């Protein structure tokens, strides 16, 4: 069973509907015990980093997520669900994150965006791959995916960077991978046919381990 973590933030229905479209069962849960027992975990999210961390800690979901990743279960983080994996965010902060991956979440163009560039970054941008990863199998490099965010992750360890993209002339980390963990700043569930293929690939990764 794939557990989609409900911590009061995020577009849960869109994620679950995306899995439904590709025939992969997923269950929304706010129960840490269910997250720990699941075969795989999805951490979605939209909104403020600090509030998300408060909700996770208050529900005991932070420890359950850390345990799932430590057990090398297939894990998918989406948008804020990527950012929460890192050490801290400067959004209304610094605010401590889950600390699963060393690095920070930082704002685009803190000294002002280039002329004609609007923040948040909202729209379709191409992926450039850094390392092969199962979730991106069969997805051509250069595929456009949907982003909506004002902050991006800056990993301390560049080896975890799976894909990058470009916004306003600046190249940023679009996805990370380590073991069975894959997390992306973009929304695969909103990224048309190839985005759904990523969810299908994740489901296949889970099925191969069950």
59 bridge partner residues: none
Residue 149 falls in the annotated catalytic set? no
Contact 113, 119 (CB under 8 A): yes
In this structure, how many other beta carbons lie within 10 angstroms of the beta carbon of residue 150? 12
Residue 187 falls in the annotated catalytic set? yes
- Choose, from 55, 121, 149, 187, the residue flagged as catalytic: 187
Q: Which domain holds residue 57?
A: 2-209
Helix (H, G, I), strand (E, B) or coil at 72: coil
Report CA 47 to chain centroid distance, whole Å.
Answer: 13
- Place 9 in a pLDDT band, splitting at 50, 70 and 90: confident
Residue 144 falls in the annotated catalytic set? no
Using a 10 angstrom Cβ sphere, with 0-12 exposed, 13-18 middle and 19 or more buried, the burial of residue 70 is exposed
- Choose, from 79, 88, 91, 121, the residue flagged as catalytic: 79
pTM of the model: 0.95
Mind listing the pLDDT tens digit for each residue in 87-120? Answer: 999 988 799 999 999 999 999 988 777 888 888 9
What is the reported pLDDT for 114? 82
Mind listing the pLDDT tens digit for each residue in 36-78? Answer: 999 999 999 888 899 999 999 999 999 999 999 999 999 999 9
Pairing of strands 170-178, 128-129: unpaired
**Total tally of structural domains belonging to the chain:** 1
CATH of the domain at 95: 3.40.50.880
């Amino acid at each position: 069973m794939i557990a989609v973590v409900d911590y009061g933030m995020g577009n849960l229905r869109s994620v679950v509907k995306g899995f439904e479209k590709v025939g992969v069962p997923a269950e929304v849960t706010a129960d840490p015990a269910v997250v720990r027992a699941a075969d795989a975990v999805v951490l979605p999210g939209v909104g403020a980093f600090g509030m998300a961390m408060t909700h996770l800690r208050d529900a005991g979901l932070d420890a359950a997520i850390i345990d799932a990743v430590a057990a090398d279960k297939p894990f998918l983080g989406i948008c804020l669900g990527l950012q929460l994996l890192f050490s801290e965010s400067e959004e209304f902060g610094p605010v401590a994150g889950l600390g699963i991956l060393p690095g920070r979440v930082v704002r685009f163009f803190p000294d002002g965006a280039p002329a004609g560039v609007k923040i948040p970054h909202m729209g379709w941008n191409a992926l450039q791959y850094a390392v092969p990863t199962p979730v991106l199998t069969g997805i051509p490099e250069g595929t456009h995916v949907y982003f909506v965010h004002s902050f991006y992750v800056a990993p301390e360890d560049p080896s975890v960077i799976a894909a990058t993209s470009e916004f306003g002339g600046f190249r940023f980390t679009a996805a990370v991978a380590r073991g069975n963990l894959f997390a992306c700043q973009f929304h695969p569930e909103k990224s048309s046919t190839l985005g759904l293929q990523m969810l299908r690939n994740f489901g296949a990764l889970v099925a191969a381990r069950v």
